[in-house]
Chain A
């Protein structure tokens, strides 16, 4: 016997400001193994071609289909309809610029954050000699870097973050996680004093109020709580260590 599932989807198109944001109701027959991503495609194909939502990979790799599913940020492609109740509410991720309906521009914010925190490898050599064999990295370090590199920038952690919601200049768990990733990378020449310049204030690691919704909603189950705590300890130690010395820090 097939199950009927209701989706109340928040509809709003900033291009049509005269139409006020409203919930629109869709009824769908659930199929075996159906993910929310498949359900949304069914709705768009058979019920409403104007419904906007994002997807690319269908497999939790691209991070495009993040949305509020019954109030919590999740990836639509990693959510089984079978696990959802009979009536559901879908809304776009808050915090990010709304493109329309369930589609938001996470890329724009992610790019700004990446530039602000310079989250790319700062290697000593600027010129890469492609003829030389790359230096080896031991398996443990590579594993640690890879663990943090799994972030897909879906935006769930930022949308779930009470701190970011109240104070939009907060870099979010995604930003702190990326700093942790490059700090773990032996090829990156930056030291804690350099990282302090990037995240050593209330828009960075000291702004985090440890509500830890980021950790709990991350679709890639990144160890965000321990990584942020680790950065907090390192950044605080950096300051306390330099307290006695005459440095350029004020």
Chain B
């Protein structure tokens, strides 16, 4: 075995020069958290497209499947994105787990501390622990589903999953956990690194405003899927396909799918004439 193994095993490595790892772990924890929080907000907007109508949501889905620029739908592209997010998520979970209370003693001390202190930022940290812990399971299940069955995303497919497959309580829990965790996390990133240079009071207000906005948007969106799923329950499994697309989107759709330029047989007539 190498010298470094024995130095580490006997704790004598610490007598030498300091390790770079703590800095990298800290930076990566923040970076992965930032990526996930921003992804989650973007994701919320895409999912919320159902509030603009089934065709809007269908178009967004197809966009990410490459339909509008590759000429056909490739749900595997969504799997690819899910796989990347999954990797970042696992990295973030591993890095953030270092900060969890890892024994009952630590947990009890922290709980008593936050209760006695009645200090908002300390209490919010406990919420980050609770929501973060629940996301180990909720986000993993969701990401796995998107990784393996990316084709089951769409106005009817998603609604069937939420209503007929009975997953709406799962999504409700995940919505609460992810919005609280991401919102508190972004606020903490700002105060942790001191950027942007806004006052903590203002940052806190922004944080709550954003959390309220995304929670409202999320609940409305979930309700919309539940309603569509309920109305579609007798046709479970059927996929949505719009009759037509907005005029501006038509040129991007693969030829022959929506626009029917063959509606110009008159050209042939012209020739005859």
Contacts and interface: CB of A to CB of B under 8 A. Distances in A.
Contacts of A200: 18, 22-23
A201 B106 CA distance: 20
A49 interface: no
A162 B109 CA distance: 8
Given A162-B110, A165-B110, A213 B193 contact: no
Interface in B12-69: 13, 16-20, 22-27
Given A162-B114, A213-B119, A225 B200 contact: yes
Interface residues of B, number: 35
B125 A239 contact: no
Interface residues of A, number: 39
B17 A248 contact: yes
B22 A213 contact: no
A148 to B, nearest CB: 16
B101 interface: yes
A242 B20 contact: yes
Contact of B119 (A160, A208, A230, A235): A160
Contact of A243 (B17, B20, B188, B194): B20
Contacts of A197: 17-18
Contacts of B115: 71
Contacts of A239: 20, 23-24, 27
Contacts of B194: 225-226, 229-230, 232-233
A210 B192 CA distance: 6
B219 interface: no
Contact of B122 (A162, A226, A233, A235): A162
17 contacts: A71-B117, A166-B110, A167-B106, A202-B22, A206-B25, A211-B119, A211-B122, A212-B121, A213-B117, A229-B193, A232-B194, A235-B23, A236-B27, A243-B20, A249-B18, A249-B19, A250-B20
Interface of B: 13, 16-20, 22-27, 98-99, 101, 106, 109-110, 113-119, 121-122, 125, 188, 191-195, 200
